[in-house]
Structures are given as structure tokens and as C-alpha cells.
Amino acid sequence: MKDIHLLTVSNYCHLHNATGCVCVQLLFCVLNAMRVFCCKSISPRGQIKITAKVDVPILSFPKSFGQLRRRKRAWVIPPIRFPENDRGPFPKLMVQIRSDADKFKTIRYSIKGPGADQPPEGLFHVDRDSGNLYVTEPLDREKQDQYTLKASAEAVGSGVIEEPMDIIVFVIDMNDNKPQFTQDTFLGEVPEASPIGFEVIKVEATDMDEPGNANSDIRYRILKQEPELPSGNMFEINPVSGVIRVNSRGLDREVRYTLEVQATDSTGEGLSGQGRVILTVTDSNDNAPAFSEPTYKATVPENKVGAQVVKMSVTDGDEPHSPAWNAKFTIVGGDPEGYFTVETGFNKNEGIMTTAKGLDFEKTSKYTLLVAVENEVPFAMQLPTATATVEVNVDDVNEAPIFNPVEKTVVKQEDLPINSELAQYTATDPDFQRNQKVSYKIVTDLAGWLNVNKDTGVISLKSNMDRESHFIKDNKYTALIGAYDNDLPATGTGTLTIQLEDVNDNAPTIDERAIMVCNKDTIPQLLSVTDRDGPSFASPYTVSLQGMSRNNWTARMNEKTGIILTLAKPLPSGEYSVVLRVADNQGMEQDSTVQATVCDCSGEFVACKRIGEAGVGLPVILGILAAILLLLLLVLLLLMFLRRRGGEKGEPLIQDDDIRDNVYYYDEEGGGEDDQDYDLSILHRGLDNRPEVFRNDVVPNFMPAPQYRPRPANPEDIGNFIDDNLKAADNDPTAPPYDSLLVFDYEGGGSDAGSLSSLNSSSSGDQDYDCLSEWGPRFKKLADMYGGEEDDML
């Protein structure tokens, strides 16, 4: 037991900045924690005097048993509790460390750990002889709230006699930190029409003292409000949460309030800190927008989408360009089908109504709409919604006739006779009130097959159709039919699709036009057969050889659609025409000629001898070329001599009146319209200003480009090639709409030559016209005419 200094409550309270009962409570808590036995008395001046004697705790090392020195499990070393910010004097005794072996041995004590031999070093010190543990300076709980030391005991001359013991020092928190607000200044906004109890902002303060006790238990309050308008208590604060709410009505949006707030720990009785809150009063939507006019009238043309109907301006008493001032428009009546839409203009106080769909004068000629206006944010109070009436008159315009259906399909055979009726394709004029006449025309007919009756819309055939034409896609031919009324020309279009049914109008043909074979050990040749008709009029095919070809060749069909052509006997090398007649499954047949080159070789690899191998050497060829060049040089020298001689005599080499040998330069002949630099656009200037008129010399945007067939490799297709391209040219609107006339220069009169009409083909001698039959069916008639007489004689 040791005596300590006499303390007075006033001195202790002054030390810890506490007053009244709180000071007394704190003092007794500290004394109790230090195990102080005390008595108290009241002095004549009202001071409480405390006389205390300190009972220093003794920490003994745990007992060990046996050679293993096992400790008792129930042996617990109690922690040491020491207050922070103790005023000393230092070093100050905390506890005594003791070993039971000190009764018969001399013991030396030591400590290790943070605060002893580790940072912060020297904070704790132990007397090596007595084991008294001292603290050398005030502790700060906010820096470190506990320390763990490891105490050791050694016997002099015997070494370690006790196992190290952990000593835990808890630092008792004292109220030595005042609350601090998390921000120097809190900024917030409050609507001017906010009701009482409206939450504006929340402030927050923190205390560095130990959480969960009175030292860090904070309470809030408002110290001051500036300005005090319209009263000094416009706001209140929750003392526990720090939430600031509106306490009174009458906020003015032109006023900015500054609040001084205080945070105090120890449930409002301890240390205090101050902060500031700035609140800006914002505009509330307490004024409803109003239309400048109650009724608006407008006229809109029919069928126009996006046409502006009317602009509607509004007024609002709230702050301009704020959400409470910006207008928002809605059509609330008169437009169940959504023909109109209204949007807010750029300046945010104007509504712009436009058409969302094309209006139909014949359906509805007048609309009466009801439009309401609100703000972007809800009203702060119950306010009426302003409305306006919009009367829209629909202006009638001339509309193009409409085909019904827009796409029509008919099924016809491709061999339909000319002038046959295909279909009646009619359109109706939506402007039925005008009672206009509808007329029809062909807009697009790439093949030139169709005619349309101008008055009835009956479509007929003006030329033969061909399912195998390149104008056909998937057995369908598409034409565009136009309909127009007798008012300002407006053309509507409909699509006519003709589904062509196939007929057997094409004979099969052989694709290969030339082959090469060896005259010994000949390899059979495979020829491909093509039929432009559909599968119903194609394979299986039959093949037969014609004329002299039957003596030298054999031909048969394979399992597919090919012809196996084989040389029947060896032939001299040369060129041979092989005529094959191929028929389809309906008997439609046609002769095809294959040009066969027979080479002097054998086997699969065909090789014909070149000119050099036939005995004509390279020196012979060079000699012939040299002779030709020498001859040309002599002719050139002779011409130059004659020209000089004629110039010396003063007479022209060629007389002007001798028309037989006159040379005329045909590049000087007079040109037609195609050869003159005429600006043909002048002729079209009137039509260019009338885009609604359909023109045959301009390709419409919806019209595909005309399709011209390339020149076929098979000479038998030349006739179809000319017919198809002639039809395409007739229907090509980009072709010149005039005939070109070429004017040639006069070339003289009279000629010593006789008339060509005096020539007689019979004087040409005997001719073999049988070869004409190998050129296809178109030349077969000529072969019969000129070669038939010999056959009759035979």
C-alpha cells in the first residue's frame, strides 16, 4: 500500500475540462479503475477532498508443473488499464511483476515489445530488481489504444526461471477530442414551396475518441440563421441524425440562407465543434403554364407527312428556362388514330404540332384537337391544367389513281396468240368527289410484249412471249402499268406479273461446236445437250447422224444427257463436219453441226502436225517475206517517179474529169443529227419543269435498265439474238427518239462498169449447196431450193 497525493475535484475537473456531476463521475471511474481505496469529505468551502491509497496490482508468473512445465489452463493474466493523458508525475507505477522463485533466489526482471524495446521505445520501463512496471510519459489512445508486452524473469546464476508472460495494457479513453464536421461548408437546395418537415440536407460530424461511449456520442443544434426572414426558425435539425428540415412556410427563392450548426460530444454536454450550411431556395412549380390563345386554326394539305400545322405559345410565372417553366404539350382529344404529334420548341415555351401520318380529305376534311400543357416537373400544389383547341382543315389535292391490287399475277402459256387478252388491270381515283376519268399506259415493258387499252385497262399481247427469254426470272415476267387522271397529271402504278407456262418450242442443241480426235485408237467424245424448255419437254433425248456423217461416225446417248460421239473408221487428218440430229421426249428435233478436227495420232493425247513438220522450213519462210518487201519497195519507187514526171509537164497525174479513178475522202461526208453538236436538252426544257409527266426519253427511277443479250457462240441462236435485242432497243427509253440520216458527198456520175442485174448466178458453175443444210433450219430452205433440182435428177 502506498500513499498518493490528495486530489480535489476542482483540480481534476480543470484538468479534464469537465464540470459538475460529470467531473465527479469521471474521477471515481478513474480511481475505481486504478483500484484506489478512498474516502471523501466535504471541506468548509464545499470542496470534496479525497484521500486515497493505491493498491498496486501484482502480476505473478503462471505456475508450471512437471518437467514439461505445463501451465494451468485456468490461469489468466488480467490486462492493465491506464488512462490516457495522465499528468504524472512520471515515471508512474502501473503494476508489479513477481516470480514465486524470489523467495529463495535473486530474480532479474525484463520486458520486451512495442513501447519497451520496440517503437515507441522507452514508453514502459521495469525495475529489474523489484519488478515494478512504470509508464514514462502520457499515453494517447488515439495513437494506440493498447500495448502487448512480454515479461521475463531470470534467476541470477541459473538463467531463465519462468516462461515469458504477456502483459496487455489497455489505454482508457478520455474526452480529449472535440467533434469535427466532415465538410467546412455544406451546400444544399430547397424548393420555395416546400412543406413543413421537408428534408433539405444532412450534416455529419466525427469524433476521434473511442466509439460507443459518451466521449464520441454527438448531438447537433442550429446556433444561428441568416437572414432571419421571414422568421429566425425557418429550419430545424435532428439532434441525433443531423438532418435539417423545413420548419416554417414562406421561403423566398431570391434569398440564400446561411446556418451555423454545432456538434457536441458526451450527448451534448462535452466538447463542441462548429460548421456552416448554405441553402439556396430554388423555384417551385407553383405557377401553371397558360396558352396565349384559347383556339388555333390551320389548313394542311392531305397526304403530307411532317407538315407543320400550328405553333402554340404559352406563358409561365416561374423562373424562365427552369424545369418549372419549361412546357410539355400533349394531345388529349380529337386524334384517336394518331394523325398528329406535338413537340416542344427550342425555346421550351412553344408547342409545334405536325402531321404524323398523311391526312385523307375524302375520309375526314376537318379535325378538332384538344391540347394540354404542363411543365417538366410536377406542380408543387394543386393547379389546373391549361388546354387549347386546334381546328385543322384538310386541303384537297389531286391524288394519283390507286391500283387494286397493287400487284396482280396472271398465269398464261408462253405461246399465247398475239392480241390475246391477258388481264384487265384497273385503278380507282381516290378523288371520287372530282369525278375524274382514269386512263392507262404501259410504264415498263422491257420485252415489248404488252399493250394496254387506254380507257378500259385491258392488257393484251402485241408480240409473242418466250418463257426462255432473258427477261424472264423464275418463269415470271413483270411489267409496270400506269394510271392517270385528267386533272394535273399524277400517275399511279401497279405491277403486273405474268406467270408463263412452258410449251415445247425449243429443240435441243449440242453445246460443243468443235472437237479434236486422233484417227487411230480414237477416244470417244462426250457432247453435252441443252434444251431451253422445261424438264417436261427435255430429256430423255434421241440422237442420229445425218448425211455423210453416218459413214464415218457413231453416236449414242449416255445414261444422262450427253452424246457419246466416236470415229467409226480411220480418216485422213483434216477438218470434218459432223451433223447430228437431236430430239427431245416430245419429238422436237434440230440438226447441230460439230466441227471435228482429225489428227494423225493415236490414243487420248491429240496432237496435229505443225507447218514446219510438213516440210516448209524456216529459211523458205524468210525468203518469201524478203521477196514481198522488195516488191513493195519497187512499187513505192515507181509511184514517186510518176509523180515527179507529171509535175515537170505541168499536168496532173489524175484528170479531174476522169471519174473512174478519182479518190474521195469519205471522212468529209456530211453528217446527220448524230454527228452534229446539238444541245438536245433545249427540246426537253418544257418537260423538265413538269416532273409529274411520264416521259419516254427518260428512265424513271423505278424502271430497271434494259437487258441486252451478248452475242451467242452458237450461230443457230443468231436469229433469237437479233429479235431479243431489237425488242430491248425498241423499249429502251434512253435510245434517241429519231432516225439518223447521213448525207454523203457527191462522187461523180457515170461508170464504165455494167449493171449488177446482168449477172447470172447460173454462170458460176456447179455448186454443192448441201452444206447449207448443216447451218441450221433457217438455211435449210435455201438448200432445198438450190440443191433440190440435182436430187430430182438423181
Q: Is 477 exposed, middle or buried (0-12, 13-18, 19+ CB in 10 A)?
A: buried
pLDDT value at residue 43: 42
Q: What is the pLDDT of residue 437?
A: 83
Identify whether the C-beta of residue 502 lies closer than 8 Å to the C-beta of residue 466: no
Q: Which of 471, 464, 367 is nearest to 413 (CA)?
A: 464
pLDDT in tens, 549-580: 888 888 888 887 788 888 888 888 888 998 98
pLDDT of amino acid 705: 62
Indicate whether 246 pLDDT > 90. yes
pLDDT digits (tens, 9 = 90+) for 396-442: 887 788 888 889 999 988 888 999 888 899 888 887 666 778 889 99
The larger pLDDT score, comparing residue 322 to residue 732, is at: 322
SS3 category, 10: helix
CA–CA separation, 555 and 525 (whole Å): 9
**Quick one: average pLDDT of 198-215?**
91
Question: Measured between alpha carbons, how far is 11 from 19 in angstroms, rounded to an integer?
Answer: 11
DSSP symbols for 172-237: EP-S----EESSSEEEEEEETTPPTT-EEEE--EE--SPTTSGGG--EEEEEEEES--S-TTSEEE
Question: Which residue, 105, 176, 96, is CA-closest to 134?
Answer: 96
Task: Report whether 167 contacts 111 (CB < 8 A).
Answer: yes
Would you state the cell numbers that stand for residue 519, as one nine-digit string?
Answer: 484417227
Query: Which residues in 246-266 are b (16+ Cβ under 10 Å) and which e?
Result: bbeeebebeeebebebbbbbb
Q: In this predicted structure, which of 8-17, 246-255, 611-620 has the lowest mean pLDDT?
A: 8-17
Which pLDDT score, from 0 to 100, does residue 742 have? 46
523: which 3 cell numbers? 477416244
Of the listed ranges 55-69, 108-122, 741-755, the least confidently predicted one is: 741-755
For 557-616, give the DSSP string: E-SSSEEEEEE-S---SEEEEEEEEEE-TT--EEEEEEEEEEEEEESSS-----TGGGT-
pLDDT of residue 751: 55
Give pLDDT, residue 701: 53
For the chain, how big is the Rg over CA atoms in Å? 60
Answer yes or no: is pLDDT of 773 > 70.
no
285, 317 in Cβ contact below 8 A?
no
Q: Percentage of residues in the chain with pLDDT exceeding 70?
A: 75
For residue 372, pLDDT beyond 90: yes
Mean pLDDT of 604-619: 63
User: Measured between alpha carbons, how far is residue 51 from residues 40, 44, 81, 124 in Å?
Assistant: 7, 16, 21, 27
The pLDDT score that the predictor gives to residue 203 is 96
SS3 646: helix
pLDDT tens-digit series, residues 429-483: 887 666 778 889 999 999 899 999 988 889 999 988 888 888 988 889 999 999 8
> Which letter, b or e, does each residue of 624-663 get, where b requires 16 or more Cβ atoms within 10 Å of its Cβ?
eeeeeeeeeeeeeeeeeeeeeeeeeeeeeeeeeeeeeeee
Angle, helix 9-16 to helix 20-33, in steps of 10 degrees: 100
pLDDT at 222: 95
Question: What pLDDT digit, counting tens, does each position of 623-666 carry?
Answer: 899 899 989 988 988 888 888 776 555 555 444 454 444 554 45
Q: How much is the pLDDT for 750?
A: 57
Please check the confidence at residue 393 and state whether its pLDDT lies above 50.
yes
| Buried/exposed code over 548-578 (b: 16+ C-beta within 10 A; e: otherwise) | ebeebbebebeeeebbebebeeebeeeebeb
Model confidence at 617: pLDDT above 70: no
Global pTM value: 0.40
Using the predicted structure, report yes or no on whether residue 500 has a pLDDT greater than 60. Answer: yes
Residue 582 amino acid letter: V
pLDDT at residue number 704: 61
pLDDT at 363 over 90: no
Predicted local distance difference test score (pLDDT) of residue 278: 95
The pLDDT of residue 18 is 43
Q: What is the pLDDT of residue 69?
A: 47
Alpha-carbon distance of 671 to 743, in angstroms, equals 6
HEC profile of 739-757: CCCCECCCCCCCCCCCCHH
The separation between CA 84 and the C-alpha centre of its own chain, rounded to angstroms, equals 69
- Tell me which of 53-67, 256-270, 731-745, 774-788 is least confident: 731-745
Statement: residue 13 has pLDDT above 50: no
Q: In this model, does residue 163 exceed pLDDT 50?
A: yes
Average pLDDT of the residues of the chain: 79
Where residue 542 falls among pLDDT bands split at 50, 70, 90? confident
Domains of the chain: 58-64+73-172 (2.60.40.60), 180-282 (2.60.40.60), 290-395 (2.60.40.60), 402-501 (2.60.40.60), 509-599 (2.60.40.60)
Interval 717-745 mean pLDDT = 67
Q: Which of 423, 427, 397, 395 is nearest to 410 (CA)?
A: 423
Report pLDDT digits (tens) over 70-109.
444 435 678 889 999 888 899 999 999 988 888 888 889 9
The pLDDT assigned to 105 comes to 87
| pLDDT above 60: residue 760 | no
At 755, is the pLDDT very low, low, confident or very high (cuts 50, 70, 90)?
low
User: Checking DSSP bridges between strand 407-413 and strand 491-501, what pairing results, if any?
Assistant: parallel
Residue 431's alpha-carbon distances to 42, 365, 405, in angstroms, are 117, 13, 18
Which residues share a beta bridge with 497?
409, 478
Burial class (CB in 10 A: 0-12, 13-18, 19+), 165: buried
Phi, psi angle pair for 401, to nearest 5°: -60, 155
